[in-house]
Amino acid sequence: MNSLGKHLLLEYYDCNVDSINDVSRVEQNLNDAAEACGATIIKSVFHGFNPIGVSGVVVISESHLAIHTWPEHGFAAVDVFTCGDTVDPHVAHALLKERFGAQKVKIMEVKRGNLRLPKSRILKVVAEDRATG
C-alpha cells in the first residue's frame, strides 16, 4: 500500500433530475454504493432542501461517501473516501454513475496519507499516541 487511502472527487453532469432530487433515493443509492464497494456502514444522514437539492453523508468504518446535488443543473458532486486495501471506491463510483444517469463524469483521484513509512515506524507512532492519550 503506497497510501493510507483513496479519495475520489466525482462530478456527475446531465444526471436524471428525479434521481438526484429525491432524498430517500439519494440516500439509498449512496448506502448501496458503500455496500457494493465492500465498506462497513456506520451511519447515514441526508437532508432535502426546499425547493430542490440534497446533501448527505454515509459514514463508513473506512471513511465516508458524501454528496451535494443541484438538480436544477442536473449536477451532483460526490466524494468517496476509503482507507485501506479492502474497499474499492471505483465500484461505488460505477454504481452511482449508473443510478444517477450521469451522461458526463469528471473524476479526480487523490492518494491520501502518502507517508511511505516502514511498518515498524507506523506501529511505533500508534503506540506513542496511545501512551500519551
Least reliable range by pLDDT among 80-89, 111-120, 124-133: 124-133
Query: Average pLDDT for residues 84-105, to the nearest whole number?
Result: 96
pLDDT, one tens digit per residue, over 9-29 is 999 999 999 999 999 999 999
For the chain, the domain total comes to: 1
- Kindly state the helix (H) or strand (E) to which residue 80 belongs, with its residue range: strand 75-83
61-81 mean pLDDT: 98
- Reported pTM: 0.84
**pLDDT band with cut points at 50, 70 and 90 for residue 129:** very low
- What per-residue confidence (pLDDT) applies to 121? 52
Give the active site residues.
63, 68, 83
Mean pLDDT of the chain: 90
Which CATH number goes with the domain that contains 112? Answer: 3.60.90.10
**Between vectors from CA 77 to CA 41 and to CA 48, what angle results, nearest 5°?**
70
Q: Where are the alpha helices (DSSP H) in 37-118?
A: 89-100
pLDDT of residue 124 exceeding 70: no
Instruction: Tell me phi and psi for residue 84, to 5 degrees.
Output: 85, -175
- Tell me which residue range forms the domain holding 99: 5-132
